[in-house]
Structure 1
Amino acid sequence: MHIKGIHHVSAITANAKENYDFYTNVLGMRLVKKTVNQDDTSMYHLFYADEKGNPGTDLTFFEIKRAGNTYPGTHSISTTSLRVQNDDSLTFWQERFDEYNVDQDPITVRADRKTLSFRDPEGQRLMLVSDEQNHGVASGTPWSRSKVPVDKGITGLGPVHLTVSNALPTITVLKDILGFKEVGKVENRIILETGEGGTGAEIHIEERTDLPREKPGRGSVHHVAFRVEDEEELEQWKEIIQKAGFPNSGLVDRYYFKSLYFREPNHILFELATDGPGFATDEHIDHLGEELALPPFLESKRKEIEAKLIPLETK
């Protein structure tokens, strides 16, 4: 039993319409689910992913309309990486970002891979990472109906970067409880991986004692989720986490997957999520994300929920 890799990353937006426009029209990702936050149904929860919404490809957003600015710092998920197929793809993206006036940095080599850091319109910290030299967890398949050519498209989530004031407690949780292994250090970042390894299974930890604690808002990340095979394994992970003394959510049915949440010592929220059943559970694979999808336990409240949402056209 082991963590298979990154499952998804969930972030915050203050404007679902503009968020949808950027992630589908500029980044070319597919909206695979338009639903609501199950803990607060007054806000959208948007899921962008590859062609089929495979685990390991999902970047999700909660819409919190009154979210303020993010003030970066420690105790945070400070960068989310997105995988592309090769080095040449980064040149394509550099030119595309120029065309769409996306805030970006020069192409840089990090951990022996070419990368391109950029920000979305709300300051969400993102990085494209080339899979040209990658060996490990398989990537997804770019959306064939995307405005981005398939051979240049985003194929899934890459390394997730954490910034903390004291790295040891976080590293201890990842290694001793979740089974990650330390595989290297680049500059001031410690690299850990799990499962088959590679870009889809890495956590990079940066220790910074010169920064205040991050004040999250729009453009910040809420949590990172790690992949587990199924509900049976998730039950076993619950026992492991409880025995380690960490308060946790217990198993939560998110309908598209089952989850368990806990905070590590630097207060970063970790989720363990099952690979299935997946986003085609309640929609045909050809029409994912076109309508507001609600899990069965919320369906009876559809009219009430829809009345609180600003319509978002996604067809």
Structure 2
Amino acid sequence: MQLKPLKGIHHVSAITANAKENYKFYTQVLGLRLVKKTVNQDDTSVYHLFYADERGNPGTDLTFFEIPHAGQTYQGTNSISATSLRVANDEALRYWKKRFEELDVDHDDISNETGRATLSFRDFEGQRLVLVSDETNSGVAGGKPWDKSPVPTEHGVVGLGPVKLTVAQPDITATILTQVMGFTEVGSYASPVEGQKDIRVFETGEGGTGAEIHLEENSDLERERPGRGSVHHVAFRVENEEELKKWVTHLQELRLPNSGFVERYYFRSLYFREPNGILFELATDGPGFEGDEDFDHLGERLSLPPYFEDQRESIEAKLVPLNTK
């Protein structure tokens, strides 16, 4: 059975305790478009918000589950410790640094430690984020910023960049990435933490900023205790449903515990945990977000997959109204 290479990062899903403030930050500060306001399909009592480029192209989605009583995140190992967002060039980073200063967003200085210009920052709940410049990028293409964003399109976020994993035992994660998922180890860069080993870089598909995992070893930390501002999982791009079913068979043949095929309506999925406990998802590029809302009105209403539509009244009754028009 021949598997096509994974195409890159599909989406990253994180946790917020406050959907209203989350919506304000990611649309008004970061200028992303809310392309879908729906519910967590495993717990329909909470929102699932999808922020992305103009239409939610695969590889551009940063999503949030709202868990209103989520506690503080105690950062640690065996976690997704940073999520990158791509911008067009180094000039865009200078725009963002000034914007963060004006809007009082917690941020660092522009850095080149990864070999690309980057700007690390945190949202209002401490979510660990990094803007990365695509100035020298030659891999997976980015998306297209929404032209109604408060951020000028030339400086807007064009998609997800490298995702950093911090683990206690990197070799077993590296084995899953290379031997199971088809990634290639392509380099490394010095850790910003004194005394720690270099951070290893793995890529898939066409490579570049939209198709990298950065693997950091840190055995000094305790295991992360997730809460608001932590990341739940990272998803990787699969061409279509036929290809996803091949991945289901592949993991079953390797006897790796997994969810099997999961219908998510906006895409189809497969979930499994790598040996350090981080949740991975494989997700299809389609069908996308315009099956139940047209392009001009994405994210304005509560969207429910057809198999939840008969529960709309009871689902809406459990949610705090969130005005996204």
TM-score class normalised by the smaller sequence: over 0.9
Superposed displacement of residue 242, structure 1: 1.4
The one of 281, 285, 290 aligned to 1:280: 290
The one of 202, 219, 238 aligned to 2:248: 238
The equivalent residue for 1:222 is 232
d(CA) in 2 for partners of 1:98 and 1:33?
29
The equivalent residue for 2:193 is none
Secondary structure, counterpart of 1:106 in structure 2: strand
What amino acid is the match of 2:294? Answer: H
What amino acid is the match of 1:74? Answer: T
The one of 146, 165, 188 aligned to 1:185: 188
TM (norm. structure 2) is 0.96
> Contact 2:16–2:64 (CA<8 Å) still a contact in 1?
yes
The equivalent residue for 2:194 is none
Secondary structure, counterpart of 1:250 in structure 2: coil
The alignment-based identity, stated in percent, is 68
Say whether 1:71 aligns with 2:74: yes
The equivalent residue for 1:25 is 28
d(CA) in 1 for partners of 2:113 and 2:272?
30
d(CA) in 1 for partners of 2:265 and 2:102?
39
The equivalent residue for 2:90 is 87
Query: 1:247-286 maps to which residues of 2 (within 5 A)?
Result: 247-286=257-296
Q: How many residues align?
A: 315
Secondary structure, counterpart of 2:77 in structure 1: coil
The equivalent residue for 2:124 is 121
Deviations 1:6-43 (A, max 9, x none): 00000000000000000000000000000000110000
TM (norm. structure 1) is 0.99
Please list every run of 5 or more consecutive structure 2 residues that lacks an aligned counterpart in the other structure.
Answer: 191-197
The equivalent residue for 1:97 is 100
The equivalent residue for 2:204 is 194
What amino acid is the match of 2:290? Answer: A
The equivalent residue for 1:39 is 42
> Contact 2:38–2:48 (CA<8 Å) still a contact in 1?
yes
d(CA) in 2 for partners of 1:44 and 1:78?
23
d(CA) in 1 for partners of 2:114 and 2:247?
30
Secondary structure, counterpart of 2:112 in structure 1: strand
| CA RMSD across the alignment | 0.5
The range that moved more, 205-214 or 240-249, is: 240-249
Secondary structure, counterpart of 1:160 in structure 2: strand
What amino acid is the match of 2:63? Answer: T
Superposed displacement of residue 111, structure 1: 2.6
Deviations 1:48-76 (A, max 9, x none): 00011100000000000010000111110
> Contact 2:167–2:218 (CA<8 Å) still a contact in 1?
yes
Say whether 1:292 aligns with 2:295: no
> Contact 2:115–2:189 (CA<8 Å) still a contact in 1?
no
What amino acid is the match of 1:91? Answer: R
Secondary structure, counterpart of 2:224 in structure 1: coil
The equivalent residue for 1:12 is 15
Extract structure 1 runs of 4+ deviating beyond 4 A: none
d(CA) in 1 for partners of 2:219 and 2:232?
22
